[in-house]
Amino acid sequence: MQTHILGYPRIGSNRELKKACEQYWSGKITLQQLQTVSKNITTQNWKLQKEAGIDLVPCNDFSFYDQVLDMSLVVGAIPKRYHEVAVKSNSEMDLYFAMARGYQKDGLDITAMEMTKWFDTNYHYIVPEFYKNQEFKLFSNKIINEFEGAKQAGVKAKPVIIGLVSYLLLGKEKEEGFDKLDLAKNLLPVYIEILKDLEARGAEWIQFDEPFLVLDLNEKAKETFQFVYKELRKQFPHLKILVATYFDGLKDNLSLAVSLPVCALHIDLVRNPEQLDEVLNAVPENLSLSLGVVDGRNIWKNDFETSLNFIKKAIDKIGTDSVLIAPSCSLLHSPCDLDLETNLDSEIKNWLAFAKQKVDEVVMLKELANGNAIEKSEENQKAIASRKTSKLIHNEQVKQRVNSVTEKDAQRENEFSIRKTKQQKVLNLPLFPTTTIGSFPQTTEVRSWRAKFKKGELNAQQYDTLLKEETEKTIRWQEEIGIDVLVHGEFERNDMVEYFGEQLNGFVFTKNGWVQSYGSRCVKPPIIFGDVSRPNPMTVYWSKYAQSLTEKWVKGMLTGPVTILQWSFVRNDQPRSETCKQIALAIRDEVSDLENAGIKIIQIDEPAIREGLPLRKVDWQNYLKWAVESFRIASTGVKDSTQIHTHMCYSEFNDIIQNIADMDADVITIECSRSQMELLDAFAEFKYPNEIGPGVYEIHSPRVPSKEEMVELLRKAEAVIPANQIWVNPDCGLKTRHWDETRKALEAMVAASKEATIAYLQEEKANNHWL
Ligand SMILES: CN1c2c(nc(N)[nH]c2=O)NC[C@@H]1CNc1ccc(C(=O)N[C@@H](CCC(=O)N[C@@H](CCC(=O)N[C@@H](CCC(=O)O)C(=O)O)C(=O)O)C(=O)O)cc1
Ligand SMILES: N[C@@H](CCS)C(=O)O
Ligand SMILES: [Zn+2]
């Protein structure tokens, strides 16, 4: 029996990588200094795992930005537009960061590659770009370098490589007339070249991540899996190849997965424990099974009794030598180290395990399965029992309230057409009304006020005054440039989910529980440990203050229940739907309080609603039913005249448009500019009846859009959506942007709205004249 880890967090337990990357980007440190930071992180990670007693320690799980982008560089999938950067900068690292973040230097203005969600997680990867007959060639030596780096640290590591089929399926065809899977034949020689080199250097085990094996696959994908792994086996009869699947069960891909001629197959027994029996029955004699029993996506202490039952069952069926023990997936999605949490309630802390502790759990499970360290099992069972019976968790009132929600509680008084008239009477908004999504730049200064406040270097009143000044400046500036519906800027928020978690009962938050979201950006998901309720209003103070400063409407700004659920660590002792409804009721109360405080427009952000979709289509409707219902519980307790907005980013809507419509928000703002308004087609085809704000500019890069390009996008929108349904706004919040680019971009956006209005009215006039 062996233990292994599928991947370890690479940000460093104090976010050293984030800080070093950002310093490198702003020219404050050299490439060599950046590389020293990465070397320290990887070395520490390898040593930690080796010293804990892990048999197969991973390498190539480090990344300066994203592991999929790393793979694109390794196999030379570098889109042509970056070739000049490679020449001008003469640095592999700068080329790499240019692909991730765009390049505006040396007279070049090149956009970043697209970024999207990694399966159903809050991690984002850089989408590979594929072209017909694309050739690949080994470009970056990263995998070899990491293997050698681990060797120097005294570890013969197991390289973790994105499997060939999943790598292709993660990408996007950038021209028509071919299927990305057609490229497998061209890509295979590069994989073979890498494996040859690794084998020559002494590698024994190779982990290929193939998460697509838990998704719905077509015949071509299945054939490609067979083709690729047969070829690899032919070439490398002695390498131990482990295929890793995670985030769901193999289900109808089981026979395919167990037929691959590899040494070991990893399965996720946290997400899909039911698959174990079926897999054990199907596993051929020469295939080892890696049991993903420690939850890599959540922070709860492992229940050793449950895990040991799985392990024993597997040992009985296939023998000790054929069993590996592991976390369910890479620990990338877990915070680094619970030991750093010195402020957590000790009862709750005893229920938790972060990455470092999960490594120990994996080792301990092997010990226990071997009949050793019985006292550790008793300790573990005490902690598990204490959580089951704790008084901290249950609140009968909350449970009763969820149980007594009726259909009427999830419905507005009247349908949208009636609400629209009533809202327009109150709001009196122009055609193409302008607004933003909520956050304004979270400058280093604003963040430093909060850091000082937390350290006690600023008192509550000083902190409050600084935030009020920043809010007032932002309100005045929005008035000045003529935005129609203002926002307060969200300066008081550390994060759109954590901020709410900090104020709700049933949540705890950590000091240092950071998890990578994309590139250098991290999030600190709050932990939902018990029944959720709202002891006090959470946002009314700031919305009321902002509204008191101006005659214009200020939107109240909330995060929706599904997004709070999705971006938190969620309790695993009740269905997610139950927790979601509890959060929904808390948000419903906040919405009511905002309305009572005179706020006429309330936005409830749900950017994670699509991310929460189960990976298999058969499971979608069940999820969508409770997710949409939760949004409706949160949003429908208002008068017809109160306008409810929602906002979503990173979403494709075609296949869930009916459910989006069922949310029945009066206005939805969506990310749209990167797809050049293509995302609107789903709304147009569906004849989406409510109002829509398609994002007219991209907010992930510092590039300032021109008025003309936004007018052009509005014209595209008008071609498919009636003008009186269209709002004008950026793709998402502006928290990651600087003020200078924000000012220029929003001024141009307001000008674009005016131009679109004039053009529309002129056309109307001409049409009427003609009639
Ligand atoms: C919309 N997005 C979000 C997602 N998930 C969330 N939970 N939240 C989101 O907003 N998922 C999808 C996308 C992902 N996008 C982003 C965008 C931006 C960030 C980001 O900026 N993250 C920040 C951390 C934000 C935060 O929590 N800030 C805190 C703490 C700030 C801090 O680091 N303080 C320093 C001291 C500072 C000083 O002294 O000057 C410290 O503690 O050491 C705060 O503002 O108080 C990031 O920096 O990574 C994430 C996801
Ligand atoms: N209101 C949030 C939404 C981000 S998805 C913001 O503006 O940052
Ligand atoms: Zn957004």
Q: How would you write 154-174 as a 3-class SS string?
A: CCCCEEEEECHHHHHHHCEEC
- 455-497, pLDDT tens digit by residue? 999 999 999 999 999 999 999 999 999 999 999 999 999 999 9
Residue that is written with structure tokens 């067979």 in the block: 226
Q: What is the DSSP letter of 122?
A: S
Cβ 523 under 6 angstroms from ligand 1: yes
Cβ 567 under 6 angstroms from ligand 1: yes
d(CA 307, CA 312): 9
Q: Which residues of 202-219 are buried (b: 16+ CB within 10 A; e: fewer)?
A: ebebbbbbbbbbbbebee
Domain at 2-77+136-389, CATH from 3.20.20.210, 1.20.1340.10, 3.40.718.10, 3.50.50.60? 3.20.20.210
Q: Residue whose CA is closest, atom 31 of ligand 1?
A: 447
Contact call for residues 238 and 261 (beta carbons, < 8 A): no
Residue in 26, 124, 495, 528 to alter for ligand 1 test, most ligand atoms within 8 A of Cβ: 495
d(CA 362, CA 377): 13
Closest CA to 648 of 623, 613, 599, 685: 613
Q: What are the φ and ψ backbone dihedral angles of 129, each rounded to 5 degrees?
A: -110, 130
Q: Residue whose CA is closest, atom 19 of ligand 1?
A: 521
Q: Is 521 annotated as a binding residue?
A: yes
Q: How far apart are the first and last CA of the chain?
A: 83
Count of other CB atoms within 10 angstroms of residue 654: 12
Query: Torsion angle, CA of 148/150/154/157, rounded to 10 degrees?
Result: -100
* Residue-level pLDDT at 461: 98
* Residue-level pLDDT at 770: 58
Q: Considering Cα of 609, then 611, then 612, then 614, what sign does the dihedral take?
A: positive
Continuous segment of H or E residues that includes residue 608: none
Cβ 762 under 6 angstroms from ligand 1: no
Ligand nearest to the CA of 449: 1
523 CA distance to ligand 1 centroid (A)?
5
Q: What are the φ and ψ backbone dihedral angles of 158, each rounded to 5 degrees?
A: -105, 105
Cβ 496 under 6 angstroms from ligand 1: yes
* Residue-level pLDDT at 589: 98
d(CA 292, CA 362): 9
Q: Is 438 annotated as a binding residue?
A: yes
Closest CA to 685 of 663, 712, 661: 661
350 CA distance to ligand 1 centroid (A)?
27
Q: Residue whose CA is closest, atom 21 of ligand 1?
A: 521
Q: Is 700 a catalytic residue?
A: yes
Q: Is 180 annotated as a binding residue?
A: no
Q: Is 647 annotated as a binding residue?
A: yes
Contact call for residues 269 and 278 (beta carbons, < 8 A): no
d(CA 523, CA 530): 21
| Low-confidence spans in the chain with pLDDT less than 70 | 769-771
Cite the residue boundaries of each domain of the chain with CATH code 3.20.20.210: 2-77+136-389, 418-770
* Residue-level pLDDT at 9: 98
49 CA distance to ligand 1 centroid (A)?
28
Q: Residue whose CA is closest, atom 4 of ligand 2?
A: 733
Q: Name the active-site residue from 266, 700, 738, 769.
A: 700
d(CA 71, CA 90): 20
Report angle CA 506, 509, 515 to the nearest 5 degrees.
Answer: 125
Contact call for residues 275 and 249 (beta carbons, < 8 A): yes
Q: What are the φ and ψ backbone dihedral angles of 589, each rounded to 5 degrees?
A: -65, -35
Closest CA to 359 of 711, 53, 743, 145: 53
496 CA distance to ligand 2 centroid (A)?
7
3-state helix vs strand vs coil in the chain, percent to 5: 50, 15, 35
Contact call for residues 719 and 676 (beta carbons, < 8 A): no
Residue type, 337: D
Q: What is the DSSP letter of 135?
A: -
For the CA of 497, the closest atom of ligand 1 is 7
549 CA distance to ligand 3 centroid (A)?
26
Look up the CATH number of domain 418-770. 3.20.20.210
Residues in contact with ligand 2 (CB, 6 Å cut-off) = 437-439, 496, 557, 605, 607, 647, 649, 732-733, 735
Outline where DSSP puts E strands in 617-771. Answer: 643-648, 667-670, 691-694
Q: Residue whose CA is closest, atom 7 of ligand 2?
A: 733
* Residue-level pLDDT at 399: 97
Q: Residue whose CA is closest, atom 40 of ligand 1?
A: 448
CA 211 to chain centroid, in Å, comes to: 16
